[in-house]
């Protein structure tokens, strides 16, 4: 009989000390408020009895040593175990592959030269933390599980555990229509996601936790009988975190938002406006890329109507209606409306 347990997820922290903040007119993430937001999250979690906290990657702004050091020191002060995995921002160069694990030797990593691990975190409960960051021959960073790690994963999965949880930064399942085929969405997915899903299905793994996309979404694959819970970023609207409770082969997911911080009581409103003000470039690419392939002149006509599209998508459980858009454009964007399971508050039955 597995124990009941409660854990939290906070993803894509992008921690940036003030002197390291990368300021650029097109910067999308509110990294300058990241530490304040994290402190609010930790203060709320302190009111609960947690068994552990999971941080699924992009712990720092751009892998800066001082930001890793600050976060490690802060996590050591917490009264419960914390488990982390690397995100693409934590490993910005091939050279950075060698220095990530030593920072987080108290937070899952058991070897200074390996960026993945497997731990029994509770009786009968195993956590597998994977590294989905890979540098191709041309130097491009992609989401990919290399052959060595894939072989290691199969060996680990072949060791029977009643419950296995998998954490990986890049998405394995689609969280938006056509994500795997659209260049704008595909970059958030693992290149060999199907092979990894097949392997997880072979060993009856049903729960994967991801980040990277900065969207609240729970996806389910009938083919693989696999749930992927991706959690939005603490530095992007709606600044979410999750508290999850496992009991009797079910997982209850509850999601929360940071709506205010000490320096800004109206933080949620400010953040949504910030995202809307910076959404034009991304929405424009959606409009001018296949399958819509509109001209830039035509795309510009629809940008005001779609200003908060990404903010509403990121919040999860979105139900879109765009009655003022032309039929083809309307149908394309309304297809992003959420389908079951729910994204923020949901009970997943695992048997």
For the chain, list the domains and their CATH numbers: 5-259+341-349 (3.60.21.10), 268-334 (no CATH)
Does residue 234 surpass a pLDDT of 80?
A: yes
257 phi and psi angles, rounded to 5 deg: -130, 150
Find residue 252's DSSP bridge partners.
245, 347
* Percent of all residues in the chain with a pLDDT value above 90, rounded to a whole number: 94
Q: Across-strand partners of 282?
A: none
pLDDT at 113: 85
Mean pLDDT of 331-345: 97
User: What pLDDT shows up at residue 204?
Assistant: 97
- The residue-averaged pLDDT of 3-23 equals 96
Q: What is the pLDDT of residues 265-298, one digit of tens each?
A: 999 999 999 999 999 999 999 999 999 999 999 9
Question: What mean pLDDT do residues 205-228 have?
Answer: 98
Residue 165: which H helix or E strand, with range? strand 163-167
pLDDT higher than 90, residue 27: no
The CA distance from 19 to 27, in Å, is 16
Please give the pLDDT value at position 289. 94
Q: What per-residue confidence (pLDDT) applies to 100?
A: 95
- Supply the pLDDT for residue 185: 87
Q: How far apart are CA 171 and CA 159, in angstroms?
A: 24
Q: Per-residue pLDDT averaged across 202-225, rounded?
A: 98
Model pLDDT for residues 127-147, shown as the tens digit of each residue: 999 999 999 999 999 999 999
- Asked if residue 249 has pLDDT above 80, the reply is yes
Share of the chain above pLDDT 70, in %: 100
Task: Give pLDDT tens digits for 154-204.
Answer: 999 999 899 999 999 999 999 999 999 888 889 999 999 999 999 999 999
Predicted confidence at residue 25, as pLDDT, reads 74
Name 260's Cβ contacts closer than 8 Å, sequence gap at least 6.
40, 266, 267, 268
What is the distance between the alpha carbons of residues 144 and 192, in angstroms, rounded to a whole number? 6
How many Å apart are CA 2 and CA 246, to the nearest integer? Answer: 9
pLDDT digits (tens, 9 = 90+) for 66-85: 999 999 999 999 999 999 99
- pTM tops 0.95, yes or no: yes
Whether 26 shows a pLDDT value over 80: the answer reads no
Residue-level pLDDT at 43:
98
Q: What residues contact 319, with CB distance under 8 A and at least 6 apart? A: 337, 338
pLDDT at 182: 84
The 3-state DSSP class for residue 11 equals strand
On the question of a cis peptide bond just before residue 238, with omega within 30 degrees of 0, the verdict is: yes
* CB 140, CB 160: distance < 8 Å: no
């Amino acid at each position: 009989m597995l124990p009941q347990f409660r854990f939290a997820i906070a993803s894509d922290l992008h921690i940036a000390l003030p002197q390291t903040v990368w300021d650029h007119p097109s910067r999308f993430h509110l990294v300058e408020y990241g530490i304040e937001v994290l402190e609010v999250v930790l203060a709320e979690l302190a009111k609960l009895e947690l068994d552990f906290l999971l941080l699924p990657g992009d712990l720092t702004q751009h892998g800066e040593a001082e930001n890793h050091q600050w976060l490690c020191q802060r996590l050591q002060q917490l009264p419960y175990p914390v488990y982390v995995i690397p995100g693409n921002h934590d490993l910005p160069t091939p050279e950075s592959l060698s220095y990530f694990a030593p920072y987080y030797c108290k937070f899952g990593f058991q070897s200074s030269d390996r960026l993945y691990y497997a731990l029994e975190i509770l009786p009968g409960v195993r956590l597998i933390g994977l590294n989905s960051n890979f540098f191709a021959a041309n130097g491009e960073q992609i989401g990919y599980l290399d052959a060595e790690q894939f072989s290691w994963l199969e060996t680990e999965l072949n060791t029977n555990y009643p419950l296995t949880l998998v954490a990986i930064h890049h998405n394995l399942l689609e969280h938006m229509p056509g994500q795997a085929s659209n260049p704008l969405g595909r970059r958030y997915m693992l290149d060999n996601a199907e092979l990894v899903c097949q392997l997880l299905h072979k060993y009856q793994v049903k729960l994967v936790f991801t980040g990277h996309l900065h969207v609240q979404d729970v996806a389910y694959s009938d083919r693989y009988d696999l749930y992927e819970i991706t959690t939005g970023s603490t530095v992007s609207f709606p600044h979410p975190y999750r508290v999850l409770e496992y009991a009797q082969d079910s997982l209850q997911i509850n999601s929360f938002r940071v709506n205010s911080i000490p320096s800004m009581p109206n933080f949620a409103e400010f953040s949504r406006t910030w995202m809307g003000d910076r959404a034009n470039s991304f929405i424009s690419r959606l409009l001018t890329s296949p399958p819509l392939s509109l001209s830039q002149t035509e795309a510009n006509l629809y940008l005001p109507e779609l200003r908060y599209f990404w903010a509403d998508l990121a919040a999860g459980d979105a139900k879109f209606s765009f009655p003022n858009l032309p039929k083809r454009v309307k149908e394309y964007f309304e297809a992003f409306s959420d389908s079951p399971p729910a994204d923020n508050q949901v009970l997943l039955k695992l048997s």
